[in-house]
C-alpha cells in the first residue's frame, strides 16, 4: 500500500477495494485472503477483491483505485526497484503471510514402491542440479534457494486447506473460479 495512505493495519481495509492476483493462486489469492481472515476480516464480505495482474494492481495502487495490493515478496521488491515515479519509501507492507508449504510431487498409488523410492532418492541426491535446471528463466528465480525435501507431511498443508475454506471451498472438490 502507499505509505501516506490512511490504512495503517489490515483492519483498516474493511470496506475497501484490494487488488489480488489470479484466482486460485496460492500466493497471490489464497494466502492474502487467509491473511485478511487471520487479522479478523471476513474477506468474502468485508473487502472488495479485484483480481488482476501484478502490474495492473501496482498501477491501481499508485492511482488510488485500490487501497492495497497483495503479491509475493519477490514481485513486490522487483516492482519497487523498477518504480520510476515514486521512491521505495512510498510503499508500506502492513501484513505478511506465513511461509507457504513446499510444492509437492504426487505419485499414483499404484506406482511400484521401488520406483517411488528411486525417484525420492534421485531428488535428494541431485537436488542442487535439479534446482539449477529449474532456475533457468527470469520467472523461476522465485525458487532460488530451494531444496527438495523428502519428509513432507500431510499436516504441512493444513494452512492451505484453511485458505480454501476461507474462500468458501472447504470440500476441495472443484477448481477455484469466481
Main-chain dihedrals φ then ψ at residue 51, nearest 5 degrees: -90, 125
Residues 135, 86 share a domain? no
Residues 56, 77 share a domain? yes
Q: Tell me the per-residue pLDDT of 17-62, one tens digit each, with 9 for 90 and over.
A: 999 999 989 999 999 999 999 999 999 999 999 999 999 999 999 9
d(CA 57, CA 151): 37
Cβ neighbours, 10 Å, residue 170: 11
d(CA 59, CA 153): 39
| pLDDT > 90 in the chain, percent | 72
pTM of the model: 0.83
Residues 106, 73 share a domain? no
Residues 169, 127 share a domain? no
- Confidence band for 66, pLDDT divided at 50, 70 and 90: very high
Residues 72, 21 share a domain? yes
Amino acid at each position: 500500500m502507499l505509505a501516506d495512505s490512511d490504512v495503517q493495519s489490515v483492519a483498516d481495509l474493511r470496506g475497501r477495494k484490494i487488488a489480488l492476483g489470479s484466482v486460485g493462486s496460492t500466493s497471490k489469492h489464497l494466502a492474502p485472503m487467509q491473511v485478511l481472515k487471520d487479522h479478523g476480516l471476513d474477506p468474502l464480505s468485508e473487502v472488495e477483491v479485484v483480481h488482476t495482474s501484478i502490474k495492473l494492481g501496482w498501477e491501481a495502487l499508485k492511482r488510488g483505485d485500490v487501497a492495497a495490493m497483495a503479491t509475493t515478496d519477490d514481485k513486490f521488491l522487483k516492482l519497487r526497484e523498477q518504480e520510476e515515479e515514486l521512491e521505495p519509501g512510498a510503499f508500506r507492507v502492513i501484513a505478511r503471510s506465513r511461509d507457504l508449504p513446499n510444492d509437492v510431487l504426487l505419485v499414483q498409488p499404484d506406482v511400484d514402491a521401488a520406483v517411488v523410492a528411486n525417484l525420492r532418492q534421485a531428488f535428494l541426491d541431485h537436488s542442487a542440479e535439479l534446482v539449477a535446471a529449474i532456475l533457468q528463466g527470469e520467472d523461476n528465480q522465485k525458487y532460488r534457494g530451494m531444496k527438495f525435501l523428502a519428509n513432507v507431511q500431510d499436516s504441512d498443508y493444513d494452512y492451505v486447506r484453511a485458505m480454501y475454506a476461507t474462500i468458501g471451498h472447504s470440500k476441495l472438490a472443484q477448481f477455484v473460479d469466481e
